[in-house]
Copies of this chain bind each other. A is one copy, B any other.
Amino acid sequence: MRNTAVLLIACPDRKGLVAAIADFLYRHDANILHADQHQDSEAGLFLMRVEWDLEGFGLGLHRFEAAFAPVATQYDLRWELKLSSVKPRMTIFVSKFDHCLADLLYRWHAGELYCDIPLIVSNHPDTHWLAEAYKVPFRHLPITRETKPEVEAAQLALLAAHHVDFIVLARYMQVLSPEFIHHYPNRIINIHHSFLPAFHGAKPYQRAFERGVKLIGATSHYVTEVLDDGPIIEQDVVRISHRDDLEDLVQKGADLEKVVLSRAVRWHIDNRILVYGNKTVVFD
């Protein structure tokens, strides 16, 4: 396990920024492992991710904020410090379709996703066996149009009780209320089974089939109040042909969904994603 710190920065682009940040880290003996930055010249924005080894770092982390404050103030930085030693706590929401859940659990088990999973929440009992196989607590909370407010309240209480950091909607077929979403800004990751913005909303495979497209896609994005409109994290497509019927699309699409969602989750966990406006930068 690496014992590193990640600093994520977004601010107005100005001369001297990189020098100031690099100098700060150098003065405290940071051994930089990765650094990446991006300038959006149109928006006048500077975005940066820098990761360094905490071994030999000359600044106690409890004093980081105070020590970094002068730089942050001078350059008007919005910043976050993340520690690789702190496992984020992820909850997976799932409905009946279990392919994304099975994929995430396997990857988590295999060490690809460095997080804790204190809870799986579902409105159906069908995936209980998978949770059991991977020894993850499973909570069945049925939901109807009428009970939605109270169920969401119960879900929020559970999430708070389990100190959940972010939520993955692994083909969870329910639309979350704006109130719910407000509790986890840029911390709810959804997988939509189309190449957004094409076929947003319901039945994307059916509509792709009817339109006669030659590729189908999947999109992972942060959830915002507007359905299927949040910042896109990752997309991919696969080729189809006239030989593929609707069932083939669903099956080929499922493979896409798994890969696209798992990349988004890994990048989120690895603190590689910066949201600005309605877009993302994914530092690789």
Binding site for B on A (CB under 8 A): 15-16, 18-19, 22-23, 25-26, 29-42, 98-99, 102-103, 106, 110, 112, 133, 195-199, 211-215, 217, 231-237, 239, 241-243, 245-246, 251, 255, 259, 277-282, 284
Contacts and interface: CB of A to CB of B under 8 A. Distances in A.
Nearest to A229: B211
A36 B265 CA distance: 25
Contacts of A211: 196-197, 232, 278
A279 B244 CA distance: 13
14 contacts: A15-B26, A18-B18, A18-B22, A18-B35, A22-B22, A33-B39, A36-B36, A38-B242, A42-B245, A196-B213, A213-B232, A214-B232, A241-B282, A242-B282
A246 B25 CA distance: 28
Contacts of A99: 106, 110
A212 B23 contact: no
Q: How many copies does the complex hold?
A: 4
Nearest to A31: B15
Contacts of A33: 39, 41
Nearest to A50: B18
A37 B38 contact: no
A245 B42 CA distance: 9
B197 A214 contact: no
Most B CB within 10 A of own CB, among A18, A42, A110, A277? A18
Given A211-B197, A242-B280, A245-B41, A19 B23 contact: yes
